[in-house]
Structure 1
């Protein structure tokens, strides 16, 4: 049976409403990082405070995705999208009105965390609405538009942030208000039709998964500040993983669980989540590392660094549309495998050209890497959600988004360590070559490698040539790792996915699934 509403709302107007709603969450993943120096200077924030202005949003977003997905399925998807938009917009306004003085740091971090909660309850519901309003054979194209346009806004974030910051850094938060207003108007006009299933909320599961994801992601985030040698990092990550294991055990014994753990018995759902997890080790970190590379190695300004990222999304947006059509015609395996292979090749070629310090040498490599990610990301996400019952789309989306954010945090932590370690080694060799004693060269290199983010700013004359070259070599290593990640994702997709188009599940089977009967051997 078709899951598109029989009498109802104009589907593409619904799609537009959901894109506007989630666009705020995508923009805010990158826009704030551009304005961090201005925010720190005006509010006199500590270095730790600055880091948490960025991390508080990502941490709560990751910790509450599963809760948001379950809440959407039980309370109602449209209700949760509207609530999420209001919470996100309200928190954005409060961030923009951050007072100066001693209250500034706690205020801004707190409302950034609230933004993350708003995004976590909004995104699974929005994606579930899109899925429910399009029949299975049309979802690939619809969700390619959803992920392509919304994902493309991640690249617009740095560009927009660069220009808005020239006026005031507060505008990077206020820009969400008109976007939220448009989303609410479109929702009111389109009146999206969805189905939900009232159920009791599993607060014990919520505490376990939020604590598990939150602690482990916190450990990954703090690894760059405390260093991997600090025992607190290992304790945070281990405690988080332990809580997640306890969560899985408890959920199997809970009558109305936060997550139906048996959904992972569905082969395609599990494989696609593994593919998405591996891919996110590269996809989210590439924005951070390429922005730093553009500002430090190439000497671009913050707005020019944003334009650098737009080349990635030229490939991403175009390929995501092609990948969606391939999904509708022939199933998920071909676009997912093809996308992973293209991304691996693109990152590999980009790594090879990174040390030329010439953007023209790299631009087509960047486009190819973006195209590979575009081919695979939307079909993999869509295919995973398609495997759920029509009354569990929010829950399935919550799971996939938790996996994606968890992996992105791990990727940032691991690749950040790779970058700093490689940069420190290169700087040590360069300083020794200039006549510094080995001990002094090592201590100087260790200091410089930890403050590399402040080295950019749009003028290559302010950065020593050897530092630019060594940073390019360190970025090259990171890009080779990204190529390896995508190659691994390609192998998983090739071996784990089965060819062919997915068939619609009978209504009776979906009702049984949503009632807690489990997916069986689907």
Structure 2
């Protein structure tokens, strides 16, 4: 592999060119530039992550706006892709786009991502279709928007690592990462507020921020590190994209019922995606170990800090990834209706009541980054995952109809643990790799994190459905027949897959009203119909079965967090890797520049 120093390098191997010197009044090492880079990349991360959750909480308004019922059997695929398509695409592309940043300039790829993200936000808000066509328009453009989001995610950490010295790197990455994580929770509240006004406004809100960030990035950010001169690893890119897409799509469709089963894990297409994805990814690893200029430099895993840091990141991401969905369903399906909120109001108020989680992230992230710069990262990263595990244990102990202040303290502790972990872990990973491979390393880190989120949602939903499948049918059937629903109808409804009930609660629909339909409700005595669709019938019915499923989910999260904490403790203090970390196939380097 050959490399050349970028003309604007501030790495100490050359002088900044006139353009950079004029812009920065002293080059990329000027103290003011690093804060400009941090502020802009933090804005980019915030925009990308707010966008993922703002759509999530606004799904009822979106589907109402395009006149589509997402709970009809033929429309569940639209719902799944609206939920998970953005995360899937970013998980697949961040490594490729990080590697392209190493080759063609991290700032160049990052800037293009900001512009693409902004343009697709405009197009999404102009959806001209209704029904399935409108859903496909949104899904397709969301996929393209995810490409822009992946450009931002893949290169922001690398840009920050380039410009900040090691003694300040944890602080800077802490601010950037926590802003990104907090954005996913800020989007819940913002989406709930905007969806009350107009569903298209959830895309409009991106446009002024995107325009500001794009213009600012093009005018202020400069390349200041080594570029890698290399050929594109086409076979590596292709096999990675196909393998990871097949695997994550298989997990996504595994949630959907199939052939009379509560889930789709016996669906031949799901099995083909899972098995085929693993086989193609194994082929990808073989290719990457043999090509001279790999997209995914497997040799980075020889660096123990990089390997164990990413293992901890993956485990932490799985532990907390599905948590947001479980807490939203808990609030929207049980707690909020029991406390007087109509189902249509629950998406907004779920976001508001989860604010302590965001506050925990915001409080701990920058502080943890600053302290880890002074005292080392391992203890803070491991301690954060231990705090998360303790908060999951606390959530296991409270009843379904909990005291909110106890719940608020527990989710605050969960956010605090996530904030304590994120910045030191990322600093360990990014500080351990050579400067010329930071784009690829940043993309690899983001891939583990994003893939962990998708995997977590699939695993958590599957475990929750498995837990509900054992106790919900009997509870539902007896509850319906007690209110006058005919035995055969109650038996048929009780036999429906629980995932439909979960999705209804998640979207802010009244699940019993959806299951029974207007004709059956009209045929029942008015008092019985009123009880069935009231705010207390469904929450009281589902609370025990839901808690059974929640127990399984939270025990898995505790196990993942504890194993991640052990991986963090085993991570050595990161020291910058020696630059010659090369492939055995690369025998010479161009030293020009």
The TM-score with structure 2 as length reference comes to: 0.81
Q: Is the 8 A contact 2:43 2:213 kept in 1?
A: yes
Q: What secondary structure is seen at the aligned counterpart in 1 of 2:207?
A: helix
Aligned length: 512
**In the alignment, which residue of structure 2 is the partner of 1:396?**
441
Question: Which of 556, 567, 573 is the aligned partner of 1:481?
Answer: 556
1:360, distance to aligned residue in structure 2 (A): 2.1
Q: 1:283 aligned to 2:320?
A: yes
Distance 2:498 2:581 in 1: 59
Distance 1:210 1:114 in 2: 15
Q: Is the 8 A contact 1:163 1:303 kept in 2?
A: yes
Distance 2:283 2:325 in 1: 33
Distance 2:223 2:372 in 1: 24
Question: Which of 453, 456, 473 is the aligned partner of 2:503?
Answer: 453
**In the alignment, which residue of structure 2 is the partner of 1:87?**
116
Question: Which of 204, 212, 219 is the aligned partner of 2:235?
Answer: 204
Q: Is the 8 A contact 1:76 1:194 kept in 2?
A: no
**In the alignment, which residue of structure 1 is the partner of 2:216?**
186
**In the alignment, which residue of structure 2 is the partner of 1:70?**
99
1:37, distance to aligned residue in structure 2 (A): 1.7
Greater shift, 158-167 or 428-437, is seen at 428-437
Question: Which of 262, 269, 284 is the aligned partner of 1:232?
Answer: 269
1:193, distance to aligned residue in structure 2 (A): 4.0
**In the alignment, which residue of structure 1 is the partner of 2:37?**
14
Q: Is the 8 A contact 1:69 1:394 kept in 2?
A: yes
Q: Is the 8 A contact 1:22 1:122 kept in 2?
A: yes
Give the direction of change, closer, same or farther, for the CA distance of 1:251–1:503 in structure 2 (3 Å limit): closer
Distance 1:180 1:516 in 2: 42
Question: Which of 17, 28, 53 is the aligned partner of 1:5?
Answer: 28
Distance 2:103 2:539 in 1: 58
Distance 1:516 1:142 in 2: 36
Give the direction of change, closer, same or farther, for the CA distance of 1:90–1:487 in structure 2 (3 Å limit): same
**In the alignment, which residue of structure 2 is the partner of 1:471?**
546
Q: Is the 8 A contact 1:33 1:54 kept in 2?
A: yes
Question: Which of 402, 414, 417 is the aligned partner of 1:372?
Answer: 417
Question: Which of 360, 368, 374 is the aligned partner of 1:323?
Answer: 368
Q: What secondary structure is seen at the aligned counterpart in 2 of 1:153?
A: helix
Larger radius of gyration: 2
1:484, distance to aligned residue in structure 2 (A): 2.0
Give the direction of change, closer, same or farther, for the CA distance of 1:503–1:44 in structure 2 (3 Å limit): same
Distance 1:34 1:461 in 2: 23
Distance 1:428 1:50 in 2: 24
Q: 1:241 aligned to 2:310?
A: no
Give the direction of change, closer, same or farther, for the CA distance of 1:439–1:47 in structure 2 (3 Å limit): closer
Q: CA RMSD in A?
A: 2.6
Q: Is the 8 A contact 1:420 1:450 kept in 2?
A: no
Distance 1:130 1:516 in 2: 30
1:189, distance to aligned residue in structure 2 (A): 4.7
Distance 1:328 1:516 in 2: 36
Greater shift, 354-363 or 274-283, is seen at 354-363
Give the direction of change, closer, same or farther, for the CA distance of 1:372–1:7 in structure 2 (3 Å limit): closer
Q: 1:409 aligned to 2:439?
A: no
Distance 1:9 1:254 in 2: 40
Greater shift, 364-373 or 443-452, is seen at 443-452
Distance 1:132 1:381 in 2: 14
Give the direction of change, closer, same or farther, for the CA distance of 1:431–1:180 in structure 2 (3 Å limit): closer
**In the alignment, which residue of structure 1 is the partner of 2:494?**
444
Question: Which of 318, 323, 335 is the aligned partner of 1:298?
Answer: 335
Q: 1:147 aligned to 2:181?
A: no
**In the alignment, which residue of structure 2 is the partner of 1:497?**
571
The answer for unaligned runs of 5 or more in structure 2 is 1-9, 13-26, 69-74, 258-263, 511-533, 588-593
Q: Is the 8 A contact 2:169 2:427 kept in 1?
A: yes
Greater shift, 337-346 or 455-464, is seen at 455-464
1:192, distance to aligned residue in structure 2 (A): 3.6
Q: What secondary structure is seen at the aligned counterpart in 2 of 1:315?
A: helix
Q: What secondary structure is seen at the aligned counterpart in 2 of 1:297?
A: helix
1:39-75: CA deviation from partner (whole Å, max 9, x where unpaired)? 2222234332232223221221111111111011111
Distance 1:28 1:6 in 2: 33
Q: What secondary structure is seen at the aligned counterpart in 2 of 1:29?
A: helix
**In the alignment, which residue of structure 1 is the partner of 2:205?**
175
1:497, distance to aligned residue in structure 2 (A): 1.7
1:354, distance to aligned residue in structure 2 (A): 4.5
How does 1:53-68 map onto structure 2 within 5 Å? 53-68=82-97
